[in-house]
Structure 1
C-alpha cells in the first residue's frame, strides 16, 4: 500500500488516507459486482445544520437495481472500537440527508436503497451490508 504524505510533517494527510481507503473500498465492492454511480456526493450545509457527504454511491447487481450508499471509514489500528464504531448517530443523519437529496434529483420511481459501511482497520477490510437504515 502506498503512503501519501503532505510534504511538511512527513505524515500521511487525512485527505490522502481517506482517498486511498475509498479506492480500496471501491475496488473491493466492484469485485463483488457493484457498479460505481458517483463518488463523494456532497450536500451543502444549511442555515441550521452541517451538510452531508456520501463517499460512494453504487448500483448493486441485483435485478431491482438497488442503490447502495457507502460510508468508508479507516483507522490505522483497531483503537477506540475501530473504524466501524466511529460512525456516530450525527454522521448517519448527515449521510441520510445527502442520500435523500440525491434521490430527489432522480426522475421517476426511486429504486430500493441501502446504507453500507466499509470499515478498514489497518490491513483488515470489513464490508457491513445494510449497516443502518434511514428510519
Structure 2
C-alpha cells in the first residue's frame, strides 16, 4: 500500500505544481495586457509581443516615432518586489535579444532605444520605469 500512497502523493504534487504554473502564466499574461494598454494609451505603438531571439526574449517592443522601447514586465506582491525580481542575467538576455532585433531594424544598432521595466503589484498598480537599465 505504501507504494500506491507514494504514487498518489507524487501525482498530487505534480498537479499542484502544474496548477501553480498555469495560475502564474495567466497572471503574467494579464499583467502584460494591462501594461500594453497603458503604453498604447500614452501613444506608443505595440510592435512585438514576447519577441524571442536566439539570445533571449523581450516581453514587448514598442515604438514612438523612431524610438524603440524594449519593455520587461514584472509582477509581484509589491512594486518593490517586482523591481527587485529583475536580475542582471535577465537584463543581459534582453540586451542580446534587442541587439538581434536591431540587426533587422531600419537604423540597425544606431536605432534610438530605451529599456523599460513595467512593475505591477498584486493590486494591479503599475509603475513604468523608463530607462530602467542601460543600453549594451
Smaller-chain TM-score bracket:
0.7 to 0.9
Which residue does 1:115 correspond to in 2? 115
Corresponding residue pairs, total: 117
Runs of 4+ in structure 1 off by over 6 angstroms are none
SS of the residue aligned with 2:50? strand
Task: Write the distance in 1 (CA, Å) between the matches of 2:106 and 2:114.
Answer: 19
Residue 24 (structure 2) pairs with residue 14 (structure 1): yes
Deviation string for 1:31-62 (max 9, x for gaps)? 11111011110123xxxxxx41100000025x
Task: Please report the RMSD computed on the Cα atoms of aligned residues, expressed in angstroms.
Answer: 1.9
More strand by share: 1
Task: Specify the SS of the correspondent of 1:14.
Answer: helix
Helix, strand or coil for the counterpart of 1:13? helix
Paired position in structure 2 for 1:90: 89
Of 9, 33, 42, 1:32 maps to 42
1:111 Cα shift? 2.4
Q: Distance in 2 between matches of 1:71 and 1:82?
A: 14
Instruction: Quote the Cα distance in structure 1 between the aligned partners of 2:70 and 2:51.
Output: 10
Aligned equivalent of 1:4: none
CA distance in structure 2 between the partners assigned to 1:70 and 1:17 by the alignment:
17
Deviations along 1:54-77, one digit per CA (max 9) or x if unpaired, are: 00000025xxx20000000011x1
Larger radius of gyration: 2
The unaligned stretches of length 5 or more in structure 2 are: 1-14
Q: Which residue of 2 aligns with 1:127?
A: 128
Which protein has the bigger helix share?
Answer: 2
Q: TM-score, normalised by structure 2?
A: 0.77
Normalised by the size of structure 1, how large is the TM-score? 0.78
Alpha-carbon distance between aligned partners in 1 of 2:23 and 2:58, rounded to the nearest angstrom: 20
